Structure 1
Amino acid sequence: MSAEHVGTLSQFAALIPVAIGNALRARWASATTIGCVMLSVIVLCSFLAMSRGFYAAGDSAGSDRMAVMLGRQAPIEIESDIDPAEAVLLERAPGLSMLSTTSKVSPEVVVSVSRRAKGFAKRINSTLRGMRPEGLLLRERQGFKLVEGRVFRPGVYEMIVGRKLAERVSGLELGNKIVLSGKTWTVVGVFTMSNSLLESEYYADVQSVQTAFDRHNQYQSLYAWLEPGATLDGLRSFVEADPRFQVDVLTQRDLYRDQVEDTSNVIMYLGWPLAFVLTIGTFAGVLNTMLMVIEGRKRNLSVLMMLGFAPAAIRLAVLLETLLLTVTGALLGTLLMYLFVDGRAATIVGKYYATVEYTMKVDWSVLLNALGLAITVGLIGGAFSSLAIPSYRKTPASRSA
């Protein structure tokens, strides 16, 4: 590094207190810059908090020990179609834990139903899952617990509902009757699970659901629990070796992760372009504000040059001042989002056409994205505004001349 560069950096270090003081003295200009950045950061953080919270809800809901079989290349569980004979064939698969004395597999029928939310005119789409007793025994390994009423009876239009669903949907109180697909169903129980996302479904007898929704001789999915030491690859090899199977094998965690991933990406695809458009406006506001500030400081800048400070050092000081303001805006915007948004409940329609409730999440990744946006705006805005500073050094001799 040349002596000239060393001198410029030492002069810049000496101007750091000046840059901080200028930012504090120019209150309105500083407030304008901070406010512009805060607006962009709040918009960006809103989308990021939704995306992070929604993805975290789905990622934490499933289990790596629960194996799920869907119809081959079925994009979602509701659109899957499995022949009942495949459920019988799967009973011979190695590495599956017994769910009851006679079965290792829970064949299930999955349909989407819609009911009105409590206190609102909007409707909530939820999943009605038909299952045999093995399905409930399987979910006991995920914290299934009946907290009110009793379990549905086979061959009867009865259902139990998740507690989270009962809190949101109208008419799901114990003993109430609701009409779905032209059949009158009775709510006979309320259950809880280890994850709130798993509490957003209706459970009913598989034959009753098949009859009501005309799904005779058809399942949407097969569920099983892997024994200790067993792997999904082993189960997948068993299935692929038998041409009678027309299913894809995955874990329940992968199933839910896939459910939320596309929707989470859509949120991001909407959030970043909007934040980018606002960032252009933010950049224009920061640039214009700093140009006005520099215009009002011409006399002070001349004094600094007369004192021997290089124009490059002064430009770095202006750049630092701009960065301080934009980073402050990012920190304040993220702090406001953390205080008023983090942990708030929200709902969104997921990939299975079901209304998913999740918790908005403002974490370190959101903060880092906000800081990245602020630093980018600060660097570009500060660099362009510093170009208004003359590139020559004013000295007493040049002034007298």
Structure 2
Amino acid sequence: MSQTLAITGINLKSVPERWGPSLVIVIGLAGVVAVFTALLAMAEGFSSALQASGRSDAAIIMRGGSSAELNSAFDRDSALLIKDGPGIRRGADGKPEAAAELIVITELLKKGETQTGSNMTLRGVEPASFTLRPKLKIVEGRTFQSGLRELVVGRGVQRQFEGADVGKVLRMRGSEWTVVGVFEAGDATDSELWADAEVAQSTFGRRGYSSVLAALDGSDAIDKLKAGLSADPRLNVDVQTQQAYFSGQTKQFRTMISILAGVVTIIMGLGAIFAALNTMYAAVSARAREIATLRAIGFGAMPVTVSVLIEAIVLALIGGAIGALIAYVLFNNVSLSTLSANFTQVVFSFRITPTLLLRGLAIALLIGFVGALVPAFQSAYSYRKTWAIVAVPLVAALVALIGVVTGMSTAGLLRMVLTVVVVTAIHSAIWYFAAGALLKFAERGPRSTFVRLVLSVLAVFPGIVLFGPVLMVATFRLIWSGEPRNLSRDPLLEMSKAL
């Protein structure tokens, strides 16, 4: 331990003398972590906005086959039948706690724009709509009066769009509406404009509703409601909890952003790995005489190796921390909007969580580890021994990196890493002893076609487990080549030359 600390101290003190290559690692990983964190923060913010809108004790009922409220429609009679369905909670007055709501697409100009408007959701609501959303509060002005063309707008709408302040008049689809209040719910509702359902129907020429929102009376109420409404031949409906509905709305967007983040991170990560690999090789090469001197005066091979790894990991963590800080300062709580399943704007904010920051730092650490592993061991060991030693941790680190990027669960990640470690360890042992011996025999043994064929099969079999076609082709070419090669000393090096 004392040797490791001593050499590590020397390495870190010499970093300023090698600031150029070291800066490549730091800047590269800062970029990787910043981009990864920002992209997933966008997905996290969008998901949070929609999922916060959903309640497990409320049901949303739409026309059968409808994927969103926009393409759902009920007439008045159907809405009344749905409200009277089984499993819907009733108030003290005996009336069902349910509201029929209407979705109308309108346009508003974003602040700073003068020509092209953005699609917005105008929701025609009933009085029960407010009580069914207990988090919704009027924070400015008042609520609208029934029978009048008055609006209350969400906080997100007020923040991003022109004319959405209290007292302003909005012109929408040939009609004028007065903004009388601003509400805040902390979810996707903040991206909507609310008006009296009857007034919205008469103004925009609608005869029915888009959906019905209802409070559920108990844990099994959703099943009762589904069964009751499905049994009514007058209705064709889909029933689901509000929570399930909004969860489905977020899935596609979150998946798309996660894939994008994964692809971008892997591409940038590969660049960072090669940068770390090149930097650490250069560092080891520049200090070859110093390392040889340390070995000559009694320092062990492992302390030298560990010191190189620690240097790379320290640089990686510095880069990761800088990237995480950049992402947090520039993006956290920054408001933006995107299209929802209703093809209207949903306003949400980037949400950088501690988990995202830790994932970013883990990615930086793993990239630094992978990039420095081979140079670190080659600073003290031969080429062949290096690859025999690093195969297990290298593959395990790469698998862990993929798991962290894709957001795999901790249990799933541990199972995968453990499986890969076991398989790689078995393969490394087989290859190092069996394949090495076979290749040595092939180099010096008989050259008959039959013997070469047998040796080819035996030597390449271990490669199928991990290295696949590359190792198979390389070994095959070596055994069948007429050129003399020192395979017993450095098989992997000779294989790389053969390729």
C-alpha separation in 1, matches of 2:29 and 2:209: 52
Whether the aligned pair in 2 keeps the contact of 1:51 and 1:267 (CA below 8 Å) is yes
Pair 1:138 & 2:132 matched: yes
Aligned partner of residue 142 in structure 1, secondary structure: coil
Structure 1 equivalent of residue 209 of structure 2: 219
Instruction: Give the secondary structure class of the aligned counterpart of 1:61.
Output: coil
C-alpha separation in 2, matches of 1:161 and 1:187:
10
Report the CA distance between 1:15 and its aligned residue.
1.6
8 Å contact kept, 2:83–2:212:
no
- Cα distance in 1 for residues equivalent to 2:335 and 2:179: 27
The alignment's TM-score, normalised by the length of structure 2, stands at 0.69
Report the equivalent of 2:4: 15
> Quick one: distance in 2 between partners of 1:314 and 1:173?
66
Give the equivalent residue in structure 1 for 2:146.
153
2:13 to 16, 24, 39: 24
CA offsets 1:90-126 (integer angstroms, 9 cap, x no match): 2332332346775543111112222102233464432
Residue in structure 2 matched with residue 47 of structure 1 by the alignment: 39
Unaligned runs of 5+ in 1: 1-9, 393-401
Q: Give distance in 1, aligned partners of 2:320 and 2:354.
A: 13
User: Is 1:284 the equivalent of 2:277?
Assistant: no
Contact persistence 2:7–2:304 (CA under 8 A): no
Give deviations 1:242-286, integer Å, cap 9, x for gaps: 343311112222333322332222222222211211112111211
* Counterpart residue number, 1:204: 195
Quote the residue 1:234 is aligned against: 224
The normalised TM-score by structure 1 is 0.84
- Residue matched to 2:410: none
CA gap of 1:15–1:188, structure 2 versus 1, over 3 A, is closer
Structure with the higher helix share, 1 or 2: 2
Q: Deviations over 1:332-378 (max 9, x none)?
A: 32133234432333333333322222222222221232133223312
1:192 aligns with 2:217: no
Q: By how many angstroms is 1:327 displaced?
A: 2.2
Q: CA deviation at 1:77?
A: 1.4
Contact 1:197–1:357 (8 Å) recurs in 2 = yes
2:347 corresponds to which of 357, 365, 368: 357
Aligned with 1:73 (options 46, 56, 65) = 65
Q: Tell me the equivalent position of 1:389.
A: 379
Aligned residues: 378
Considering only CA atoms, is the larger Rg found in Structure 1 or Structure 2? 2
Would you say the 8 A contact 1:152–1:188 is kept in 2?
no
- CA 1:229–1:274 in 2, change beyond 3 Å: closer, same or farther? closer
The amino acid of 2:23's aligned partner reads A
C-alpha distance in 2 between matches for 1:174 and 1:115:
15
DSSP 3-state at the match of 2:52: helix
Deviation of residue 43 (structure 1)? 0.9
Q: Which one of the candidate residues 308, 316, 320 is aligned to 1:326?
A: 316
Q: Quote the Cα distance in structure 1 between the aligned partners of 2:214 and 2:351.
A: 32
Q: Is the 8 A contact 2:130 2:136 kept in 1?
A: no
| Separation in 2, partners of 1:305, 1:232 | 73
Tell me, what secondary structure is at the counterpart of 2:65?
Answer: coil
Taking a change above 3 Å as real, the CA distance of residues 108 and 288 of structure 1, as seen in their structure-2 partners, is same
Structure 1 residue 59: deviation in Å?
A: 1.8
Is 1:165 the counterpart of 2:154? The answer is no
CA distance in 2, matches of 1:83, 1:299: 86
1:267 aligns with 2:257: yes
Matched, 1:34 2:26: yes
RMSD over aligned CA atoms reads 2.7
- Corresponding position of 2:333: 343
Distance 1:104 1:390 in 2: 74
Where 1:64 maps in the other structure, the secondary structure is: coil
